[in-house]
Structure 1
Amino acid sequence: MRQLWELFRVLWAVGCLPVGALLLVVVVLCGFSLPFFLGFTNSADPAIRWLFWALVFYFVGGVCLFWRVNQRYGEKLRRLVIGFQTSNFQPQIEVFAKINDAYLGIDGSARMLLVYPVKGAEHFFQFDEINSWRIVPVGKHNHRLEVLTSNLDVPVFSIVLKPAEVLSTEARLNTLLGT
Structure 2
Amino acid sequence: MWELLRTLWAIGCIPIGALLLIVLVLCGFNLAFFLGISSGADPAVRWLFWALVLYFVGGVWLFWWGDQRYASKLKRLAAGFQAQGFRPQVEVFAKMSDAYLGIDGAARRLLAYPIDGKGHFFQLDEISSWRIVPAGKRNHRLEVLTRNPRLPVFSLVLKPTEVLATEARLAALLGA
Structure 1 spans left out of the alignment, 5+ residues: none
Equivalent positions of 1:97-176 (< 5 A) are 97-176=94-173
Tell me the number of residue pairs that the alignment of Structure 1 and Structure 2 aligns. Answer: 176
Deviation at 1:10, TM superposition (A): 1.1
Distance in 1, matches of 2:53 and 2:42, equals 18
Aligned equivalent of 1:39, options 32, 36, 41: 36
Give the SS at the match of 2:5: helix
Deviation at 1:78, TM superposition (A): 0.6
Give the SS at the match of 2:8: helix
Structure 2 spans left out of the alignment, 5+ residues: none
Distance in 2, matches of 1:75 and 1:112, equals 23
Residue identity in the other structure for 2:47: W
Distance in 2, matches of 1:138 and 1:10, equals 16
Deviation at 1:30, TM superposition (A): 0.5
Superposed structure 1 runs of 4+ greater than 2 Å apart: none
| TM norm structure 2 | 0.98
Aligned equivalent of 1:17, options 9, 14, 36: 14
Residue identity in the other structure for 2:136: G
Give the SS at the match of 1:133: strand
Give the SS at the match of 2:84: coil
| TM norm structure 1 | 0.97
**Does residue 63 of structure 1 match 2:60?**
yes
Identity %: 70
**Equivalent position of 2:5 in the other structure:** 8
Instruction: Give a deviation string over 1:51-72, Cα, whole Å, max 9, x none.
Output: 0011001000100010000000
Deviation at 1:8, TM superposition (A): 1.2
Distance in 1, matches of 2:6 and 2:164, equals 28
Residue identity in the other structure for 1:19: I
What's the RMSD between the two structures over aligned residues?
0.7
